[in-house]
A and B are shown apart, each in its own frame.
Chain A
């Protein structure tokens, strides 16, 4: 008997399809894993099921949801809760100043009549703290947790907070389905182990669990069946014991690659490295780098891949000094000072950030100003001397910007147009233009095609290849899309748990990439295939 069935769910945000005909079903007492890369549509699917307002304010969704065979339209989180669906969010929704009991029982307090309530009605009844505490204790016991139910939440370890969140859901008698959105992301290893045991226990009590995680080993370990999403489409639903972790990873990232690679004819890859990282660590929240040794050859395009949260994005940010880094960076045989963006830029390294609109652009300034600013600030170009001061030379800006607009085919009304009003692809080209204006010999590119439509993707990638071939610019491209890396990179380093788990040529097999992404050694390949 299926507890939950979601059929043919389709959702569009501003004409952008984020879910396309996705179906999902969960049996009673089952732990079902939901996996997919960032942007695959997991969160949207859960928001639909939980009736989040963001879904309805953007035009609702198409498709059908059945609970115990009955049609159900979740129009608000309250409706979903009434149907017995509970959700534990990635960010904790606890009130720090309240006790454990008060948090667990929030808005469902047990009360007893008081003097005031007899006059003014039920809302002024007194809290029955003892019963509340007893209920909380029962809920916590179900989770095998021993926390003082009168303790304040503030100051408890992060792991405990996660359990309190779950206790709150478990305390609801009606709970049938519990959605856990990346519950172990913030837990330590031992807490995670304990957590997984608890999840199993709950399932044995008959509560179905929908488990969303990036940690595939956990998914493999705990779930009964798995649904894999990719780019808003259902890739596969499969029983857990019928699939290997490697294959899950491959299905998550491996789209059919039409390797439209051009020949390497003009490429000049030198033997000596342009950049070397030794014991490189970066403290970037959510993308921690835990000690990397990597050599980048002059003239190559190096791809950096890996699953989300494993630290691939931290590398470029760390090199540029945007997040606290330690270890050694050697650029052109000189040691590069850490945590100093100015020195990194001066060492002829340019960076296209994954956070295009935040780090990469001045949205309310003109295209022209965006293109020239880095060069103006760091290299004193585009300025004229008037007496003792350097003024911006608007003629030079115009000339250069128009040249760039033509060269990169930036679609705009004029170089004076504000960047805010450009499409994602054209904004990315403005970022590229700004980096090129610096004339770097090493270009770091992070997620260059995120949020860009397909046509523009190809243009951006082609531009990168051209830069490499024509100007012999070394490029390090970091991307969640393996296909993209395999299309333009020469070698691809896969990052797992903040470290390089291996470096593969672009034409290595999907299985090999899958293995490295899940932290296995290539030697295990045969075992996995068999």
Chain B
């Protein structure tokens, strides 16, 4: 019994119990469950790749990647280019990803170099690099030479909009692919398949020679050195992978959400992703795909289920408050654990 408890972990246990409590409340308050489940699946699929971006970062030893906005901006740029040239549907999705890929690789490489100079401070520095880049890009969104009317402000004729509707372009491309309905619950097959595909790639990399060297560099620098591994190079590798996944992740997220959000929207994008993987059982030193799946599922379920219930039971924006408490609380809890063992 104690063993099982230890395996699940106190934090996760509390969250699961709270989630069960919310589900019971949902039944009592007659919130339609099939709609809730559809929602959970969509939110899971749209967030999971952003959470997955944490895995190579942790494995390579740079810790949780608080600089997710860097990759997100590369993804947004890809999507913008794709729209600018009027690509739609799957072609649009593919073009967006192909454009964002080299951007993410180059920026991840540069950021990785920077992280090698500030070993031990990656998470703090990452947070602020993220803030700076988002602010810098707020200027660039104004002056980048996009011309598509779907992208720029209707009045004035220059500068990108804050929110760009994807209705005519990428919206729900993955969500609606092979989607079907069981007992009122819609299964977003394409979305889930795409996550499964990405996760498999990351998993395969983790089992490969290159991936193992990266993980060894991340878990014991001295050991890696003694085995002839170039630790700095492996860390850069992890940073690039994480940045690329963030870029792909935001494209998947946006197509499900139906909008591209520019300007300050990416500012805090890392926080829910970090919280999710920690809830899933990852630590600052160790992260696996299973942590991504469990964590994203729990975290997003909590948000989806809590929203209607709290809206019925209380006035105002309490659901957002719960989200903030859970996500920031779990991060705080994880960072206070000595040695960064799993929450």
Contacts and interface: CB of A to CB of B under 8 A. Distances in A.
A359 B223 contact: yes
A293 interface: no
A360 interface: yes
B79 interface: no
B337 interface: no
A380 B209 contact: yes
B209 A376 contact: yes
B208 A392 contact: yes
Nearest to A380: B209
A282 B213 CA distance: 27
Contacts of A377: 209, 212-213, 216, 227-229
Interface in A421-475: none
Contacts of A47: none
Contacts of B220: 358, 361-363
A346 B228 CA distance: 9
Contacts of A365: 219
Interface string A5-26: 0000000000000000000000
Interface stretch (A174-182, A237-245, A383-391): A383-391
Contact of A360 (B205, B223, B228, B229): B223
Contact of B227 (A343, A378, A383, A390): A378
A417 interface: no
A341 B219 contact: no
Given A377-B228, A389-B204, A392-B207, A361 B212 contact: no
A335 B223 CA distance: 25
A343 B229 CA distance: 11
A380 B219 CA distance: 21
B212 A342 contact: no
Interface centre among B207, B219, B286 (most CB of A within 10 A): B207
B225 interface: yes
A374 B219 contact: no
Given A355-B222, A359-B223, A365-B219, A391 B228 contact: no
A344 B209 CA distance: 20
B312 interface: no
In this complex, the interface size class of chain A, counting residues with CB under 8 Å from chain B, is: 20 to 34
Nearest to A386: B204
A351 B208 CA distance: 25
A345 B228 contact: yes
A361 B208 contact: no
B208 to A, nearest CB: 5
A138 B132 CA distance: 55
Contacts of A364: 219, 285-286
Contacts of A359: 222-223, 225-226
Nearest to B208: A389
Contacts of A320: 226
Nearest to B220: A362
Nearest to A346: B228
Contacts of A341: 225-228
A361 B227 CA distance: 11
A362 B223 contact: yes
Interface centre among B207, B225, B226 (most CB of A within 10 A): B226
B228 to A, nearest CB: 3
Contacts of B207: 391-392
A378 B213 CA distance: 10
Contact of A391 (B208, B219, B226): B208
Nearest to B283: A364
Interface majority SS (helix, strand, loop, mixed), chain A: mixed
A353 interface: yes
Interface string B213-253: 10010011011011111000000000000000000000000
A322 B226 CA distance: 7
Interface majority SS (helix, strand, loop, mixed), chain B: helix
A338 to B, nearest CB: 14
Contact of A373 (B225, B227, B286): B227
A344 to B, nearest CB: 8
A322 B231 CA distance: 13
Contacts of A353: 226
Contacts of A363: 220
A378 B228 contact: yes
B219 A383 contact: no
Contacts of B205: 389
B123 to A, nearest CB: 20
Contacts of A361: 220, 223
A373 B216 contact: yes
A449 B216 CA distance: 25
B223 A391 contact: no
A392 B205 CA distance: 10
B249 to A, nearest CB: 23
Interface string B65-98: 0000000000000000000000000000000000
Contacts of A389: 204-205, 208-210
Interface string A310-330: 000000000010100000000
B110 to A, nearest CB: 26
A378 B223 CA distance: 14
A380 B204 CA distance: 17
Contacts of B216: 362, 373, 377
A416 to B, nearest CB: 15
Given A362-B219, A373-B227, A391-B204, A383 B286 contact: no
Given A359-B226, A389-B204, A376 B219 contact: no
B23 to A, nearest CB: 35
B49 to A, nearest CB: 21
Interface string B179-220: 000000000000000000000000011011110110010011
Interface string B112-135: 000000000000000000000000
B94 to A, nearest CB: 22
A472 B48 CA distance: 55
A351 B226 CA distance: 8
A232 B340 CA distance: 35
A365 B217 CA distance: 13
Contacts of A392: 207-209, 212
B60 to A, nearest CB: 15
A357 to B, nearest CB: 9
Given A362-B216, A364-B219, A374 B227 contact: yes
A340 B209 CA distance: 20
B226 A376 contact: no
Contacts of B226: 320, 322, 341, 351, 353, 359-360
B197 to A, nearest CB: 15
B8 to A, nearest CB: 19
Nearest to B228: A342
A329 to B, nearest CB: 16
A391 B208 CA distance: 4
B222 A373 contact: no
A320 B228 CA distance: 10
Nearest to A374: B227
Nearest to A342: B228
A383 B222 CA distance: 24
A378 B210 CA distance: 12
B163 to A, nearest CB: 40
30 contacts: A320-B226, A341-B227, A341-B228, A343-B228, A344-B228, A353-B226, A359-B222, A359-B226, A361-B220, A362-B216, A362-B219, A363-B220, A364-B285, A373-B212, A373-B216, A376-B212, A377-B216, A378-B227, A380-B209, A386-B204, A389-B204, A389-B205, A389-B208, A390-B208, A390-B209, A390-B210, A391-B204, A391-B207, A392-B207, A392-B209
Given A359-B226, A377-B229, 13 more contacts: A340-B228, A344-B228, A346-B228, A359-B225, A360-B226, A362-B216, A362-B219, A376-B209, A376-B212, A377-B209, A377-B212, A377-B228, A380-B209
Top 4 nearest A-B pairs (CB, nearest first) are: A342-B228, A390-B209, A341-B228, A359-B222
